[in-house]
A and B are shown apart, each in its own frame.
Chain A
């Protein structure tokens, strides 16, 4: 019984830490995005709240928390309230299978625990794909339930876009699975140890560079970010599917978008860039401190992708909707399929081990 209690307490602590870090990162990101965009456009960004505006996210959060939640006339109240939760929860629980650091076990009171992953299940990738698909329901239900034309159009567009690009994400990942032979993110990351030339983006026998590019572009499209932010294109659809949302419900959609950005960045780092593995063999720190190095490398890779999101937003104009769909179905899909064909033949000709 003590074992069950202890494991439960450990899991709860892990979940609390992971959720805390994710929500904190979202807060940092909202500020970072405005600051980075500001600097890239030769502006200062937010400067009013606190020194250099660093307290801006707290002010934003408090404001949204105490704002009136308007439910428009004619809206379906139940679905309208359900939609924000339905898009936030899948974005958060995806982190359950992401390895944030080296897969070591620590012994606590005589029992073994894995500190850096909440649960190492052998279908990790499948689990994440399954739950991120549910997020699309939140978007389309929110758009439909609002009883506003902008919301409905935004919701429909968003759903069509998300499913189109999810297909490409699924196909891009197959190449990595062929090389790794596992669906568990922990095992996939472990297989890339020993220097950057073992990362799957560069790995022998066939570098997954095409899959990587397809994945990153599709991830940007899946999270509805510029240049694929048509669902919330402010110049034509006001705010897309969350036009009618206000207060905390609006904040939930916002949280979900940023949490999704972090999640796809984590997956990209784990699948293609070796996760917590350093780009050189071995470790610089002594054995018992090596986990710090792992966590720092993982965070650095994730933040690189997050910076890429902002960079794209500052650089690229928005696509037109027909261009977006054509690009997804006629360019990305054939590249991803071709990658699977070549990778499988290469993996057959040069079997590992």
Chain B
């Protein structure tokens, strides 16, 4: 296929997806809007206060939270990028033969080193 045909092919394949995204967004926004106009609105201070089992809310809800969440988020980012590297390799696996296999085994070995390190350091412990 020539460059223009390839581009055209891509556009016809991806355009329905763009269309779907627009329609799904429109569905969300329009439903919320229509609901906004038909619903009752009786705001009052008690009703609007955040739920805390019926007692008076104390302090701001946006308090500091444990650093654990942050560590897991970082681990996720690192490991997920490594997983994304595996995808193209898996797709062309038939064509790259032994070299491809060995290279990826080395890559997974490095992945395992990082994983074992994180485990031994206690980064995977929640408490």
Chain A complexes with chain B: yes
30 contacts between A and B (CB under 8 A): A11-B19, A14-B16, A16-B23, A19-B24, A66-B40, A68-B39, A72-B48, A74-B61, A92-B20, A92-B24, A95-B20, A146-B50, A148-B52, A167-B76, A167-B79, A170-B80, A171-B86, A174-B90, A177-B87, A243-B51, A244-B50, A322-B126, A329-B75, A333-B115, A337-B111, A340-B108, A341-B105, A348-B97, A348-B101, A352-B94
A269 CA to B58 CA, complexed, in Å: 48
- A347 sits at the interface (CB 8 A): yes
- The answer to whether A337 and B112 touch (CB under 8 A), given A84-B28, A326-B126, is yes
Closest approach, in angstroms, between the C-beta of A199 and any C-beta of chain B? 18
- The answer to whether A147 and B61 touch (CB under 8 A), given A174-B90, A337-B112, is yes
- A71 sits at the interface (CB 8 A): yes
- A260 sits at the interface (CB 8 A): no
Partner pick for A249 among B32, B50, B79, B90, CB 8 A cutoff: B32
- B6 sits at the interface (CB 8 A): no
- A200 sits at the interface (CB 8 A): no
0 or 1 for each of B59-84: is its CB under 8 Å from A? (1 = yes): 01111010011001101100110011
**Which residues does chain A contribute within 8 Å of B105, judged by CB atoms?**
341, 344
Partner pick for A344 among B29, B53, B79, B101, CB 8 A cutoff: B101
- B120 sits at the interface (CB 8 A): no
Chain B interface mostly: helix
Chain A interface mostly: helix
A7 CA to B14 CA, complexed, in Å: 12
0 or 1 for each of B105-127: is its CB under 8 Å from A? (1 = yes): 10010011001000100001111
Tell me the total A-B contact number using a CB cutoff of 8 A. 203
B87 near A93: Cβ-Cβ < 8 Å: no
A118 CA to B63 CA, complexed, in Å: 45
- The answer to whether A19 and B27 touch (CB under 8 A), given A71-B48, A96-B17, A149-B52, is yes
Contacts A152-B61, A322-B125 supplied; 12 other A-B pairs, CB < 8 Å: A11-B16, A68-B41, A74-B50, A88-B24, A89-B25, A177-B90, A178-B93, A181-B93, A244-B51, A330-B119, A330-B124, A345-B101
**Which residues does chain A contribute within 8 Å of B40, judged by CB atoms?**
66, 68
- A292 sits at the interface (CB 8 A): no
- A321 sits at the interface (CB 8 A): yes
**Which residues does chain B contribute within 8 Å of A150, judged by CB atoms?**
51-52
Please provide the 7 A-B residue pairs with the shortest distance between their CB atoms, ordered closest to farther. A322-B126, A177-B90, A148-B50, A248-B35, A85-B28, A11-B16, A163-B76
- Please tell me the number of chain A residues within 8 Å of chain B, measured between CB atoms: 81
A278 CA to B104 CA, complexed, in Å: 35
A351 near B94: Cβ-Cβ < 8 Å: yes
- B1 sits at the interface (CB 8 A): no
0 or 1 for each of A145-168: is its CB under 8 Å from B? (1 = yes): 011111111001001100110110
A127 CA to B53 CA, complexed, in Å: 41
Q: Nearest residue in A to B83 (C-beta to C-beta)? A: A170
**Which residues does chain B contribute within 8 Å of A178, judged by CB atoms?**
90, 93
- The answer to whether A177 and B91 touch (CB under 8 A), given A118-B17, A152-B65, is yes
- A310 sits at the interface (CB 8 A): no
